[in-house]
Amino acid sequence: MSVRGIRGAITVDVNEEGPILQATVEMLTDIINANSIAPHDICSVFVTVTGDLDTTFPARAIRQMEGWELVPLMCALEVPVKGSLEKCIRLMVLVNTDKSQDEIEHIYLGGAQALRPDLTKA
């Protein structure tokens, strides 16, 4: 078994608690479903947000998901590169899995599809 990183990103339209929490759950749910993983398979989740999203911690949404109470979570600010994608939440989910690197499905939703068009499904 290996530890693999699963990437995800999503954008929100507004800097408000509800949309940020909802988008975080949507993205993580898609990652879970696409990769057939359960909370007990997770090593940790690293969450970043762009500096324009400061009304809540996205990890709050994950912590409230059933079975995710004990998963280690950490939030941080994304590097503020000029001209980079705004209002973006990113996840790095570290998971114990027998899947090979090329079997991992990364999830990019909304405006975040522009970050990795090579990994975005049509």
Q: Is 4 a catalytic residue?
A: no
To the query of whether residue 90 is one of the catalytic residues in this protein, the response is yes
Q: Is 116 a catalytic residue?
A: yes
Q: Is 17 a catalytic residue?
A: no
59 to each of 49, 50, 81, 89, 98, how far by Cα in Å? 11, 14, 23, 11, 26
43 is an active site residue: no
The answer to whether 60 is a known catalytic residue is: no
Catalytic residue selected from 60, 90, 103, 105: 90
Q: What angle do CA 76, 36, 107 make, to 5 degrees?
A: 45
42 token code pair: 């997770």
Catalytic residue among 7, 26, 60, 105: 7
Q: Which of 43, 63, 69, 86 is catalytic?
A: 63
Residues designated catalytic: 7, 63, 75, 78, 90, 108, 116
